[in-house]
Amino acid sequence: MSILKSCFSLITILLITTTVKAQSDSIATPDSTLTIVADTTINLPESFYIGLDSLLNDWYARQYLIYDSTCISGAATVKFSDTIYAERLSSLPTIVEMPYNYLTRQYIDAYTGRNKEVISYCLSMMNFYEETFVNALNKYGVPVELKYLPIIESALKPKAYSRMGAAGLWQFIYSTGRTYGLYVNSLVDDRYDVAKCSEAAAKHLKDLYDMFGDWSLAIAAYNCGPGNVSKAITRSGGKRNFWDLYPYLPNETRGYLPAFVAVNYAMTFHKEHGICAMATTQPEITDTLHINKNLHFQQIMDFCGIEEAELKALNPQYLTDVIPGAYKTYTLRLPLEHIRPIVEAGDSLYEHKKEELFPKSKLAYIDDDMKNRNTYVVHRIKEGETLSSIAVKYHTSVKNIKNWNNLSSDRIRAGKTLRIYNR
């Protein structure tokens, strides 16, 4: 891929408070002298601020990672010429374009500099998640290089939860998760289920690509929503190139594609920057069982002897100690050595301490309340209706309706439909 055929990049910048502003549409060639600004001038992803201590506190990290500070080259940060960065990016066997410009450079410097320990951590954690990511992406025809998107979203912290309410490795907000079959209730949050959220992310990315016909725009829309990308296209006069849309996108989205390019670079060329993966021990082989009755973690532990911390780490989608299988079929992930006792137990597993662990009041809550939370009606918008009037009709709020339907404004159009969920 020739750097001259890359998207328009932005060379000269104005530094106003903490925001990078573009002043030129000319492309930064490998031989050009780029204007370099400090990390504080770019909109770093929220994942940048997840401390290494927090990441290493995850059960997987504590169980299988061995932190060794000598793995990372001390305080020294290794940097290269623009030509080398551009050549390395152009050599990557990717479908998504990997353009090099001053903004990409800022993120490369951040990921290979002050955040090199996070890259070291992610290199190791990909051992646990990469197969699941790749299988989901391949299933829906999404470029495999998007397997690195969760690094930007969550720094591969399984229980990541953003200030905007996004959850899990792929950081789904409630409404988008609903659209792709990730349900949230008092007992279960599917957004923490690695397999389910990876498949949902792949579907979502494919839908966004089908909408815009460009993977760079699909990536941008994953961050800010398709509505904001569509607005940017309209405001630009119909242009459909990320770098042409750059001035019209939300501030946090302007850095999202450059961050994605930089993550691909850092995960591929980490050795050249003195960054290596943290030592990893071999995790246990696991498999899943289908659970179609209410099951308590205590029942599982009593029958197979698994430790509570491991059970919860392998099944992060369950918010309490209850798997509500009576509501619908759920999965239970266990190490192979613990599966046989569970299978052999049969119905005795579910009867074990049933009266103690599932009082009738609690069972009623599981069966009835959850069903209500996971149902919705489809409302067709009539002429003259507003979000406020619809909210009053269904005894909910405008904010809820906007979240459920991924609306960025209060504007609605007659003839369109809205999902209204029971609460």
* Residues recognised as catalytic: 153
Structure tokens belonging to residue 163 = 């200030």
Q: Are 158 and 316 in contact (CB under 8 A)?
A: yes
| Cα 277 to Cα 107, 153, 157, 271, distances in angstroms | 20, 20, 16, 9
Q: Is 208 helix (H, G, I), strand (E, B) or coil?
A: helix
| Cα 205 to Cα 23, 200, 319, 366, distances in angstroms | 31, 9, 27, 33
Beta-carbon contacts of 84 under 8 Å, excluding residues fewer than 6 positions away, are none
| Other C-beta atoms lying within 10 Å of the C-beta of residue 44 | 20
Q: At what angle do helices 194-212 and 226-235 cross, to 10 degrees?
A: 20
C-alpha count within 13 angstroms, C-beta hemisphere, residue 356: 6
Strand partners, 21: 14
* CA neighbor of 410 nearest in space, from 395, 393, 389, 394: 389
**Alpha-carbon distance 381 to 112, whole Å?**
50
* CA neighbor of 409 nearest in space, from 420, 418, 398, 417: 398
Q: Are 180 and 204 in contact (CB under 8 A)?
A: yes
Per-residue DSSP letter, 369: I
**Alpha-carbon distance 353 to 15, whole Å?**
64
* CA neighbor of 178 nearest in space, from 161, 160, 195, 197: 197
Buried b (16+ CB within 10 A) or exposed e, 178-192: bbbebbbbebbbbbb
DSSP code string of 273-290: GT--PPEEPPPPPEEEEE
Q: Let me know if 57 is exposed, middle or buried by CB neighbors in 10 A (0-12, 13-18, 19+).
A: exposed
